[in-house]
Amino acid sequence: MSIDVIIPTVGRASLATLRERLSGFPGRVIVIEDMEQRGPARARNNGWRRSDAEWVAFLDDDVLPGPGWVDALALDLDLAGPRTAGSQGRIRVPLPRHRPPTDWERCVAGLEGARWATADMAYRRTALAEVGGFDERFPRAFREDADLALRLLDAGWELHRGSRETLHPPGPAPFLKSVRLQAGNADDALMSALHGRGWPERAGAPRGRRPLHLATTAALAVALATRSRLGWGAWAALTAEFALRRIFPGPRTPGEVSRVGVTSMLIPPAATWYFVRGGLRARRLVRPAAVLLDRDGTLVHDVPYNAEPHRVAAVPDARAALQRLRAAGVVTAVVSNQSGIGRGLLTEEQVEAVNRRVEELLGPLGPWFVCPHTPAAGCACRKPAPGLVLRAAEALGIEPQRCVLIGDIGADVQAARAAGAQSILVPNARTRPEEIAAAPLVAPSLSAAVDLVLAEAG
């Protein structure tokens, strides 16, 4: 088993100490400088794509691997099963013993419970390649790792916590650092666009105070616009509650009280601003340029293992919906599981004949991508794996993030998520209630799904 270590860096002095700790590492230690600060996602992609090792272990440049880390990493990866994509190290944040921790120190200590944080995270390189690595639309830390983890889980991989331990010292905290960190709210908006509003629960991320920040900002806006005592009173009450919640667990020194008091006034409007701006950016980044369509149950009525073209019947609104996509210049392709081939119930020629009949009824649909494998084959193309989606996006010359997959079951939604694409579920009689509940977008018909696509594309 071969392992490389990838360290993205922005030039922190702590990098030298980290490299000393890794002086006896048997694999390569690849340091990726990000002096232009184009983001950790890009730096990490540059790192793992330079590696030819079976596993790549990502470390931040401000962490310190604990004693025996190298041996513990090797043991964690030796215990990994064939479908284990990643192993997370155990982060420990050393806090002062002689006083209560500051607000900043408590914030950093939250990393101890963070799920899939790339401060110490090892990934199987083939798994990274399967889902395309980190999404570089995330320009900051903290969400690019959650996005990658969710896409890997949707692709059928497993993620586990290992036994190795890594120290993450809190580091210095400039006066307004907590305010600048609110820029991460923009990435939360992108996560919602890509993974649906339930992504924090799936990623184990805390919901935070966004509703209260929105309320505080609204009260401030009302107070400034109307000069009303009620508006000022509401703003003052919400701000005071926020400040006291941050002050009381800490050391309560004059400097800490001053810092928390000032930032408690600035954080709510900053968080709101970044979230709203991030939502507008997310709409632009995920604006669809192509629609990928499931065949059975979406374009035509599902006839299990159909080998007879004369049994093909289009869903009632399919032809009109597809004509609207063509008129709007939205390209299409079809992605379809056809396990009947692998089961010996169909031939490829019979599937192609049925596909030709579908196009006779509905018009040209663009390239077809068919998975012939059975579920037991463990292939990378059968939905919910992302293979068909990635192949279709590559053939169309469009990034997967700008593709929308319209399908009728949860496997379609999961395949889109795993590839970084969007999805719209159009339920029918075979769609399970839990699949509907988990889908980020649900439309009652194919025509309604196209309405959503064209509204976003416009």
Specify the CATH superfamily of domain 3-169: Spore Coat Polysaccharide Biosynthesis Protein SpsA; Chain A (3.90.550.10)
Identity of the residue numbered 90: R
b/e per residue 34-52 (b: at least 16 CB within 10 A): beeeebbbbbbbbbbeebe
Q: The tokens 């996602």 sit on which residue? A: 41
- d(CA 12, CA 18) in angstroms, rounded, equals 10
* Ranges in the chain annotated CATH 3.90.550.10: 3-169
Contacts of 152 (CB under 8 A, 6+ apart): 85, 86, 127, 131, 159, 418
User: One digit per residue, pLDDT tens: the chain, 458 residues?
Assistant: 899 999 999 888 899 999 988 988 999 999 998 876 778 898 999 999 999 999 999 999 999 999 899 999 999 999 999 999 999 999 999 999 999 999 999 999 999 989 999 999 999 999 998 888 898 888 888 889 999 999 898 888 999 999 999 999 998 888 999 999 999 999 998 888 888 888 898 888 888 899 999 999 999 999 999 998 999 999 999 999 999 999 999 999 999 999 999 999 999 999 999 999 998 888 776 678 899 999 999 999 999 999 999 999 999 989 999 998 888 888 999 999 999 999 999 999 999 999 999 999 999 999 999 999 999 998 999 999 999 999 999 999 888 988 999 999 999 999 999 998 999 999 998 899 999 988 888 999 999 899 888 876 55
Closest of 27, 20, 105 to residue 65, by C-alpha:
20
Specify the CATH superfamily of domain 290-457: HAD superfamily/HAD-like (3.40.50.1000)
Question: How many Cα atoms occupy the beta-carbon half-sphere of 298 within 13 Å?
Answer: 29
Cβ atoms 424, 457 nearer than 8 A = no
Predicted local distance difference test score (pLDDT) of residue 287: 72
Predicted local distance difference test score (pLDDT) of residue 206: 84
Sign of CA dihedral 203, 108, 121, 286: positive
Identity of the residue numbered 291: V
- d(CA 226, CA 201) in angstroms, rounded, equals 39
**Number of C-beta neighbours around residue 72 at 10 A:** 19
Predicted local distance difference test score (pLDDT) of residue 458: 52
* Ranges in the chain annotated CATH 3.40.50.1000: 290-457
E-state strands within 156-221: 158-167
Host H or E run for residue 353:
helix 348-362
List residues with catalytic annotation. Answer: 294, 296
Task: Point out which residues pair with 364 in neighbouring strands.
Answer: none
Helix axes 387-396, 410-419, angle to 10 degrees: 60
CA 290 from chain centre, in angstroms, equals: 20
- d(CA 361, CA 364) in angstroms, rounded, equals 9
Copy the structure tokens of residue 246: 């941050």
Predicted local distance difference test score (pLDDT) of residue 454: 85
Predicted local distance difference test score (pLDDT) of residue 136: 86
